[in-house]
Structure 1
């Protein structure tokens, strides 16, 4: 029976345990380029014992950034800067992963700690830009009204995802994830709350998932078959008339047929008025249902904070990977503490420089 510290084989890549650092935007880049902050932030969590470490959402084109300070992967300068980070993570036993993203209608905003003072949108004079989406429907009051994408523009964005996938491979990443969640571009296509198109990219379920399937297909062709490919989805919009977990199961089945290895099961983010019952492990049932009914590996995420809690999810087959976000901000060495909590100290990946602190 696998447990939290069992290795996980994903194609030709082996995670040393089932613990992953979830993608978390740091809003600290300049012109999309990772810097020393990202190196230390990500490197610390590799040293801390996680099996999988995700770089935050990296935009595939400049207007795909959530804020002007977001990471990107749309030029060769970015590729070189990431390679330093991936080399370090691999040296310390973690699998380096990157989430490729486009923020769509939720782009061009202030950083979270500036929004209360300045509001959501960023003016053009302050480095902002026109946002885009499947339909001219703003995310919320204070957000910019997106321009509706033409089919030619959709294909151009898909080409940007293809090129970003190539760069991710050249930068040394061993897992790539397509960001299809949280109200960003891909999610805004498949959710009926944000897509009122009447062409082949809107209307029916099959049409609304077309952008996701096409883009993943394009990316998967560029990503080596022996390396794992993940897709993060919002498993539910948490609102009547929105996207449902049953929709997610059907999407996951189609993504598996496109060569996707893991469904990263998050939720929400596409409407400001959803009522989300946030609490310990509140999104785990999504990972459990999709895993069982779509027969695909899943990652569980969301208010997972304790070692025994995470271990139970793996032991009982509710998910294959546990991703932590805020808890990893509080403690980059959480995996080392969790190993003691679940009595798997033989699995401790303690650097020799730190061993005397764990004896």
Structure 2
């Protein structure tokens, strides 16, 4: 049997195959971040037939200060739960599992969007935006950790199958991980172990909120592909700690380079990173990055570059992609 068709069980989550739709922002939410009819229709179309075993919902903000863009989904207060429940139900009815991705944009946020002061690990320019945020105090960090915890509680209450902590694409947790934006001299800066202290604390807080059986995923921007940025070696150290802290699945992407690798043409261009982190941990790893053919996904799984394959743009462009891919391998 094709490896893409193999089921996988993680805690109380059973996936029918190895195909994942990674989080992709739609900007379809209401102005206040609540689930709109447009959001429901979009995910209903993508999950139709249940061919995608796992759908990870686009990044949702955990507090107003961490909102990344207009019409972004919210998990920032209890009033969002009702709409999120409809979203989880819509995906479940079609036969797919649903995970909610939680995020704080940090210095990638804009005052025009949030109405709040822009913050980050250190008062240094964001490499992508150029703006200099206010450095977070330890007290501020504790508030953010608590916001992740509360958003995770809402995720479970809404009936999702798991929660993903976002530390990729140059957002707040990724800003702590990257030496480009983390110049702190306290316990949250310096060596990799210090730069991921906030991650470990978020994971612990989320676990307290959701209980032992609820899967926690973490999306890591595993390399910045920039001079002085984070590297695969940093990520190998980090993922070992994440596994110890209680993460169930590691989802690999880029750091300040976003979801692309400069100059990469091959399908599954984050494979060198997933292979590196897979060598040091025992939990499943998701590989995304330019995968457009079922055969390419199959090869990456066969070569043990990853345990799960994320297909984003191809599914975004063609809602029948998953059905055609699965049927071609049967």
TM-score range for the pair, normalised by the shorter chain length: over 0.9
Tell me the equivalent position of 2:77.
75
1:40-79 correspondence runs (5 A): 40-48=41-49, 49-79=51-81
1:125-144 correspondence runs (5 A): 128-140=115-127, 143-144=130-131
CA deviation map 1:2-41 (0-9, x unaligned): 6101111111111111111110111222111111111111
Structure 2: stretches of 5+ with no match in the other structure: none
Give 1:292 deviation, angstroms.
2.1
Tell me the equivalent position of 1:39.
40
Distance 1:139 1:31 in 2: 26
Give 1:158 deviation, angstroms.
0.6
Distance 2:239 2:127 in 1: 28
SS class of match (1:32) = coil
Tell me the equivalent position of 1:304.
291
Distance 1:294 1:178 in 2: 18
- Is residue 100–residue 177 contact of structure 1 (8 Å, CA) maintained in 2? yes
Distance 1:67 1:77 in 2: 20
- Computed over aligned residues only, the root mean square deviation of the Cα atoms, in angstroms, reads 1.8
Tell me the equivalent position of 2:143.
156
Tell me the equivalent position of 1:166.
153
Deviating more after overlay: 142-151 vs 155-164: 142-151
Scaled by the length of structure 2, the TM-score of the pair is 0.94
SS class of match (1:195) = coil
- Give the greater-gyration-radius structure (CA): 1
SS class of match (1:54) = strand
- Is residue 287–residue 318 contact of structure 1 (8 Å, CA) maintained in 2? yes
Q: How many residues align?
A: 326
1:212-231 correspondence runs (5 A): 212-231=199-218
CA deviation map 1:209-230 (0-9, x unaligned): 1111111111122223222211
Distance 2:159 2:298 in 1: 30
Change (3 A) 1:270 1:278: closer
SS class of match (2:280) = helix
Distance 1:4 1:60 in 2: 33
Tell me the equivalent position of 1:100.
102
Give 1:129 deviation, angstroms.
3.3
CA deviation map 1:279-334 (0-9, x unaligned): 22210221122112223210001101101111122223221111111111111221
1:316-327 correspondence runs (5 A): 316-327=303-314
Tell me the equivalent position of 1:264.
251
Distance 1:2 1:290 in 2: 24
Tell me the equivalent position of 1:12.
12
Distance 1:231 1:31 in 2: 26
Distance 1:141 1:332 in 2: 31
Structure 1: stretches of 5+ with no match in the other structure: 109-121, 345-359
CA deviation map 1:129-150 (0-9, x unaligned): 3211011123247654211101
CA deviation map 1:55-91 (0-9, x unaligned): 1001100121111321110112211101011112112
Tell me the equivalent position of 1:88.
90
- Is residue 254–residue 261 contact of structure 2 (8 Å, CA) maintained in 1? no
Give 1:270 deviation, angstroms.
6.0
Scaled by the length of structure 1, the TM-score of the pair is 0.86
- Is residue 130–residue 144 contact of structure 1 (8 Å, CA) maintained in 2? no
1:159-308 correspondence runs (5 A): 159-269=146-256, 276-279=262-265, 280-308=267-295
- Is residue 187–residue 270 contact of structure 1 (8 Å, CA) maintained in 2? no
